[in-house]
Structure 1
């Protein structure tokens, strides 16, 4: 029962955070200087035509009324109409969201798989030449700007060696029977490789350093000393005892990493012309298409909030010592 109350309480808190995000996004775009429809009103339009266009998008109403209409539409899953595409924002976002999620989670899977294994290994080899060389290298990759790293990989592996395509998700003119056929094709995987590798190289520093730090702390615990006294092999002590107990903070950091990764996607998707939510967000802001930009920001916020809720639930599930008041 206490777990259900904790989940309900946490869900309510996150719902309030989401409401705050929705309100900030609504005000941010509408209070900016200038007419949001300026880029779409032709100079030859009459005053009546301009007013009709403003009324079409609900911009002729008072701000408070627009706000409550917006909240009511959100509760029905309606995100408005894109100025640029003249189509529902929700359709546009959900068409691009799978590409962003695939890029995000594939890069994080590589980053965390490598980071956990390498972090455990470096903790085991504490003070060795391997650790002394690896730590500065990890810090260097973490300090690299994502756009610079992406451009280097693009220049080397695409333009110079020609191993991978430069951008997009499929060859020009390629057609697939379904999204599943596209996402499981060799073409898609080859287009995914460089942007995912860029994000993975940048992101692996967090799980690696966190795993190494946790391992060093855990290996000082009494149960690890007892395992060594029992005569267990180094492999058993490191993997089955130390690494297992050091994993919890690393796994719960995954939710935070999703939020950072979605922000990084904005840059990487633009560099590799990846048709995802981040690239569409940049284009929408540049084109003053605030319903689409607002919807893209909101979708990213929803994903981050959900991942934090999942992390909280997993933390309590994986570690019974954790209790929520």
Structure 2
């Protein structure tokens, strides 16, 4: 029988919707509390008065703040993000190009981080107190204390400047401006394009994973230290089950619950890290877009990016609640409990 009732699921959907509204409100207010305004970025003193007035009316900047807020809440919930003055295109088409690039980089780093982290934490918790546990745990803490952008600069210095093995910018090799140099690119196949993307993603991906795996490891190790002394673990050992079966099937499965919760926090930190890592590696994704549009006071684009990223985090949180019931049969949301 399903352990999640329709009533509870409806309740979670309503709560998630109001959380998204809160995120939208914060994005709207914080952007307008910054020094300078959207109008300052669009209108120059040399413009004719009629041109300045036309731009102000185009973006509803002549409306009171509460009207701008209501218009923003309605338009952005219906996918009407407007026009980006910075890039001279519709905001939605801009996000359609940028979002997949961010999902490729940070989706891959999230998957690798939450495969490596729980696996390492599982073994460290099982080996608690041993030299292997202490040495790997100490190395993880050292990595966790380092900023991802600092590791990124070290990797760029080593693998790009010194060794010349890996590129340090962009998602793919850039076409040269000189037409006479385009011949090698005209012979590219889809397989060569994939290899080129993997070549470019290596440094930013490793920069994020080198720090991102540690959070999941720390949570998993702590939980494994707790569950290894549980009665059901001793019972499984008494039944003659192999050590590997007891560790994975009985101990690790129950220790995964807090890791699933921490994964949502990890998503937020990964998205937060996107701003810096994408900027360092000139990765053409949402993180670099946030930096550029905020600095240029491009309200329509910046608000849309915050909205999309906020929705992704809220949806992940909702999916985690559902995943709980499959990770631990003791958890039940039947009847809203």
List gaps (5 residues or longer) in structure 2.
Answer: 176-181
Match of 2:16 among 14, 17, 20: 14
74-83 vs 24-33, which moves further: 24-33
Aligned-pair CA distance for 1:252: 3.6
Corresponding residue to 1:36 among 35, 38, 55:
38
Partner residue of 1:218? 227
Q: How does 1:115-264 map to 2 (within 5 A)?
A: 115-173=117-175, 181=190, 185-264=194-273
- SS for the counterpart of 2:25 is helix
TM-score, normalised relative to structure 1: 0.92
* Cα separation, 2, equivalents of 1:321 and 1:289: 49
Aligned to 1:55: 57
Distance 1:256 1:64 in 2: 32
Cα deviation code 1:171-209 (max 9, x no counterpart) = 0118799xx959970010111111111111111111111
TM-score by length of 2: 0.89
1:249-276 per-residue CA deviation (whole Å, 9 max, x = no partner) reads: 2234222211110001111111111111
Correspondent of 1:271 among 257, 260, 280: 280
Does the Cα contact within 8 Å between 2:253 and 2:328 map onto a contact in 1?
no
Decide whether the 8 Å contact of 1:167 with 1:191 is kept in 2.
yes
Q: CA contact under 8 A between 2:102 and 2:285: conserved in structure 1?
A: yes
Q: Write the distance in 1 (CA, Å) between the matches of 2:43 and 2:253.
A: 61
Is the contact made by 2:41 and 2:297 (CA closer than 8 Å) also made in structure 1?
Answer: yes
Q: CA deviation at 1:28?
A: 2.6
- Once residues 14 and 183 of structure 1 are traced to their aligned partners in structure 2, the CA distance between those partners, rounded to angstroms, is 42
CA drift of 1:313 comes to 1.4
> Secondary structure of the residue that 1:171 maps to in structure 2?
coil
Residue 27 of structure 1, CA deviation: 2.6
The question of 1:287 aligning with 2:296 is answered: yes
Q: Please give the per-residue CA displacement for 1:92-114, whole angstroms capped at 9, x wherever unaligned.
A: 11210011111111111111211
**How far apart, CA to CA, are the structure 1 residues paired with 2:48 and 2:215?**
57
RMSD over aligned Cα, in angstroms? 2.2
Residues 275, 290 of structure 2: 8 Å contact kept = yes
Following superposition, which runs of at least 4 residues in structure 1 exceed 3 angstroms of deviation? Answer: 30-35, 174-177, 180-184
The range that moved more, 127-136 or 61-70, is 61-70
**Against the structure 1 CA distance between its residues 40 and 246, is the aligned structure 2 distance closer, same or farther, given a 3 Å change threshold?**
same
Equivalent residue in structure 2 for 1:320, among 322, 325, 329: 329
Partner of 1:3: 5
| 1-structure distance, mates of 2:125, 2:160 | 36
Query: Equivalent residue of 1:107, what SS?
Result: helix
Determine which structure has greater relative contact order: mean sequence separation of CA pairs < 8 Å that are 6+ residues apart, divided by chain length.
Answer: 2
1:72 alignment counterpart: 74
Return the alpha-carbon distance in structure 2 between the equivalents of residues 68 and 118 of structure 1: 49
Specify the SS of the correspondent of 1:45.
coil
Which residue number in structure 2 is paired with residue 104 of structure 1? 106
Q: Paired residue for 1:308?
A: 317
